[in-house]
Structure 1
Amino acid sequence: MLAFSTFGAGYAARPIGSVLFGHLGDRLGRKAALMYTLVGMGGSSTLIGLLPTYEQVGLLAPIFLVILRLIQGISLGGEWGGAILLATESAPKGVRGLYGSIPQMGVPIGLVAGTLSFSLISHVTTNEQFMSWGWRIPFLFSIVLVSLAIWIRSGIEETPIFQEQKESGDIARVPIVEALRSDGKNVLRAIGLKLGDGFFNVFTMSYVLTFATVYLSYPRDTALNALTIGCAVMLVTIPIIGYLSDFVGRKRIYIGGLILLFLLAVPYFSLIGKGAGWFYVMQAIVLGIIWAAIFST
C-alpha cells in the first residue's frame, strides 16, 4: 500500500499541473508551457535515479521520492493536455482526430520501452544487483530522452490559434476562471468521464502486474508480457481510431468504448486468471482495443 501510495502521489498531482500549465499555455503560449513541463518531467525522473538510500539518509529518502513523484505528476498534468492541444491546434482541417491521437501513442511506446529495459536489466543483473543499483539505470537514461526532446521541441512553431489570440489581444487574465465561467458544465463532464476510464487504465497498466503475480501466481515475465501485448496492440489501434473519429465522431466512439468497458469488466477479471493465453487475449482486447478507442478520442 505504501508503494502504491508513492506511485499514486504523481496521479494526485496531475490536476494541479493541468491548471498551472494550462494557465501558462494560455498566457505565454503552448510551446513555452511544454518546455517547462518537459524539464520538470525529465529532471525529476533523472533525479529519482540519483536518490540516496534509506540506509544513507533515513526517512529523507522516501520523502525525496514522493516530492519527485509530485513534480513528475504536476509536469505530466500540463504536458499531456498541452501536447494534445499543440497537435490539434496545428492539425489541417478534417484530421484533428488523427493528429490528437498521435501524442497518446507516447504512453504505450513508453510502457513498452520501460518494460523492455526492466526485463533487460533484470536479465543481466542478479536480484541483489537489480535492487541495489540496476533499477536506477532507466531513470538516469531519461536525461538522454529529455535532451533529445528539448532539441526537437525548440524547433516547433507556436500554434496558429494562439498566435491569432496573441495578435488580437484575446488573452484571458485568469484562464481557469474564464473556462469555468464560459463552459463549466462541459469541464465537469469531461472530468467525470475521465475518472471512469482512468481508473481502469491504471489497473490494466499498473496494478495488474501486482495482481497477476501476487494473487494469481503468474511469473513476473508473464505479467510483463501481457502488458507489452496490450501496449503493442494500442500502437496500431490508436492512430486508426483517431483517424476514424474524424468521420464518425469522437463522442460516439468514446461513449461506445465506455459501455464496452463496463460490459467486459467482469469477464476481464474472471478470465485473466484462467491461464496466460486468456490473460494475453483480454489485455489485447480490453487495453489494446477498447481502452485505446477511448484514449485516442
Structure 2
Amino acid sequence: MTEDDRVHQEPGQELLPIGAFAARARLSPKALRLYDRLGLLAPAHVDEVSGYRYYRVDQVERARTVALLRRLDMPLAGIAEVVRLDGERAARRLDAYWAGAEERFAEQRTLARYLRGRLSGRNTELYATFEVKTVDVPETYVLSETRHVSAGELPAWIGGSAERLERAAVERCGGMAAPHFVVYHAEVTEESDGPAESCVPVVDAEAARVWAAEQGRATAARVRVEPAHRLAYTRITKAQVAYPQIIAAFDAVEAWAAEQGLSLSGPCREVYFADWEAAGPDDAVCDVAFPVSRG
C-alpha cells in the first residue's frame, strides 16, 4: 500500500480511502460515489478539506450486497430496506421481492407470446381456446360505483367496491339479483385510467333508490337501471383473470361476435360469479363479456 493509500485512522476503527475500499469491495470508485448519492452506502468519514471519502472495513459486505441487489433490478427503496435489516428478515424481504419479480416476468412472458401471435397473424389459434356463448340478461336495477383507476389499482378497487355494494344489497335492498360485475367505459391500463364501474344487481328497486339518496354526493355510489341485453361471453379461470391473459379473452369474444355478424352494443365487462378468496387458480370465477346485437 502506498503512502496515499495508507489507511486513515479514527479511534478504534480502521478506515480505508475510497480507492482501497473499492478494491476490497470489487467495485469502482464511481459506483461507490453513486451509492452514496443514492443514499445506499454513505462513507464513514469525509475529509472536510479535501472531500476525500473514507470507509470502514466492515462496510465491504454491505457494498457487495448493494451491488448484487442492483443486478436484480430491485428498486432503490427496496435495497435500502434490505441492507437495513439483518439475517432472516433481510432474506424474507428479498424472497418477497423476487416472488413479485417472477410473477411480473411470467405476465410479460405471456404477453410476449400473445403479441407474437398477433404480429404473426396466428392469433386465431389463441382465440380457439376460448368457448364463447350468449345469454339474455333481463332489465335490473344496480347499485354502482364509478372510478378512474389504473391497472395497478384495479384489483384492490374491484374487491373493495364489491364488498361495499354487496353488503348494501343484502342489508338494504332485498339481496342480490345477480352476480357482481364491472363495466369498463374506457380502457384501463397503466397509461389509461378508465373509468370503470362496479355494479351489483338488486332485488328491491325502491329500497335501492332510498339507499342511493341516503348516500348523498359525498360518495361515488348511485343506483341506475341496467337495460335488458344479450351478452356474448367466455368463462375464464382465476389464473386467466390476470393481465395479460384476460386481454386475450376479451379479444376472443370480440372476434367471435364479428364472425357471427353481431355488433358490440355496449362496453366490455367482467361478471364475477364465484367466491374469489375460496377459488383456486384453475377454478372458473369470471365471465368476460360484451353486450351484442344483431345488425
Bin of the TM-score, shorter chain as denominator length: under 0.3
- TM-score w.r.t. the length of structure 1 is 0.23
Between the two structures, name the one with larger relative contact order (CA 8 Å, sep ≥ 6): 1
Q: Name the larger-Rg structure.
A: 2
Higher strand share: 2
Q: Which has the higher helix share?
A: 1
TM normalised by structure 2 equals 0.23
